[in-house]
Amino acid sequence: MTSLHSVVNLRDARKVAIFGGTHGNEMSGVTLVNMWINNGAEIQRSGLMIKPLITNPRAVEKCTRYVDTDLNRAFTPDNLSAPRNEDMPYEVRRAQEINQMFGPKGSPDAYDIIFDLHNTTSNMGSTLILESSKDDFNLQMVNFIKQAIAPTSCSVLLNEHPLLQYSTSRSIGKHPIGLEVGPQPQGVLRSNIFESMRAIVKHALDFIELFNGGMEFQPCMVDVYRVSEKMDYPRDKNGNITAMVHPNLQDGDWKPLNPGDPMFQTFDGSTINYEGGSTVYPTFINEAAYYEKQQAFVMTKRETLTANGIKAYKI
């Protein structure tokens, strides 16, 4: 190995959180977390404190994405430091509470690892979402999970974009990691999606236990899809959409979209092609929650990251 990719010593992990219901109508995480709150045997690991939490209980109660504003965009420095008052959007108050319990964001007291469980209506399969290309611990965990569930595939989405990254619930932890599993309609619990998510959490916790137990993980390479740009639906001057995702693109998450490929189909049957300069890999294609965010899909580029090896030390 070169010195660039050696084995680094990291503190062992002590505090792990599993968030469900950050979006109250994404039923796999809501159901798993409620189940584990009732009976945590399945997620117990020796020497680890693992805390499952329903992050947006009011949205879960109403089976809606959020009540006032998207909780998974609410963990901004401004929100977290704002003086508390009762006129705040519910989710901003809730973000402050969660930050007190599991953060504070950026502090040494913050939880070591926070998993946040999501579903998508898009045909993305099992996806792990990272917020940093430099987090050896998370890259090693992702590598471990991918190997553990092979030959079932698990994609890795890297959202490290200066404008498109957002302030997630999990971002208050030292190692934030999102799980996004689909396709599943909002408000529906499908057994296949439920079991896929459950298996990934199991492998992730196994990894942490092995790491804490002293196992050395060798430097590794991880294929990721890096967020590069978002694409909105064609719209009229009133903001109403005038075209749908083209049938060739629908359900084609992670597949190459080449210049000239069909992208949208207008209501009168004409085709709008992708006119970008290079191949991209779309994902979150036709996600229900993203119409209001002016996003028909997000474009990504493929990239291979290299992670240092890691080994735990205890203090």
- The residue ranges that bind a second copy (CB under 8 A) are 31, 34-35, 63-64, 121, 183, 185-192, 194, 240-241, 244-247, 250, 265, 267, 286-289, 291-292
| Encoded amino acid at 194, one letter | F
Q: Is residue 23 near Zn ion by the rule CB under 5 A?
A: yes
Q: Select which of 131, 180, 195, 216 is catalytic.
A: 180
Least distance CB 65 / Zn ion (angstroms): 7
Residue 36: phi, psi to the nearest 5? -75, -30
Q: Tell me the residue nearest to Zn ion as measured from the CB.
A: 118
Name the residue nearer to a second copy (CB basis): 61 or 97: 61
Name the residue nearer to a second copy (CB basis): 47 or 247: 247
Q: Would you say 203 is a known binding-site residue?
A: no
Q: 160 an active-site residue? A: no
Name the residue nearer to a second copy (CB basis): 213 or 247: 247
HEC states along 259-313?
CCCEEEEECCCCEEECCCCCCEEEECCCCHHHCCCCCCEEEEEEEEEEECEEEEE
Name the residue nearer to Zn ion (CB basis): 48 or 296: 296
**35 is in the binding site of which of a second copy, Zn ion, none (Cβ under 5 to 8 A by kind)?**
a second copy
Question: In 10 A of CB 151, how many CB atoms?
Answer: 4
**118 is in the binding site of which of a second copy, Zn ion, none (Cβ under 5 to 8 A by kind)?**
Zn ion
Q: Is residue 118 near Zn ion by the rule CB under 5 A?
A: yes
Q: Name residues whose C-beta falls within 8 Å of residue 107's C-beta, 6 or more positions apart in sequence.
A: none
Q: Is residue 94 near Zn ion by the rule CB under 5 A?
A: no
Least distance CB 247 / a second copy (angstroms): 5
Helix, strand or coil, per DSSP, at residue 231: strand
* Burial readout 106-136 (b: 16 or more C-beta within 10 A, e: otherwise): eeeebbbbbbbbbbbbbbbbbbbbbbebebb
CB distance 104 to 80 below 8 Å: yes
Report the alpha-carbon distance of residue 224 to residue 186 in Å, rounded. Answer: 26
Q: Would you say 26 is a known binding-site residue?
A: yes
Name the burial class of residue 75, with classes exposed (0-12), middle (13-18) and buried (19+) by CB atoms within 10 angstroms of its CB. Answer: buried
Closest CA to 287 of 302, 297, 277, 279: 297
**192 is in the binding site of which of a second copy, Zn ion, none (Cβ under 5 to 8 A by kind)?**
a second copy
Q: Is residue 226 near Zn ion by the rule CB under 5 A?
A: no
Q: Would you say 190 is a known binding-site residue?
A: no
Q: Is residue 170 near Zn ion by the rule CB under 5 A?
A: no
Q: List the catalytic residues.
A: 180
Residues of each annotated binding site for Zn(2+): 23, 26, 118
Which stretches of the chain bind Zn ion, using CB under 5 A?
A: 23, 26, 118
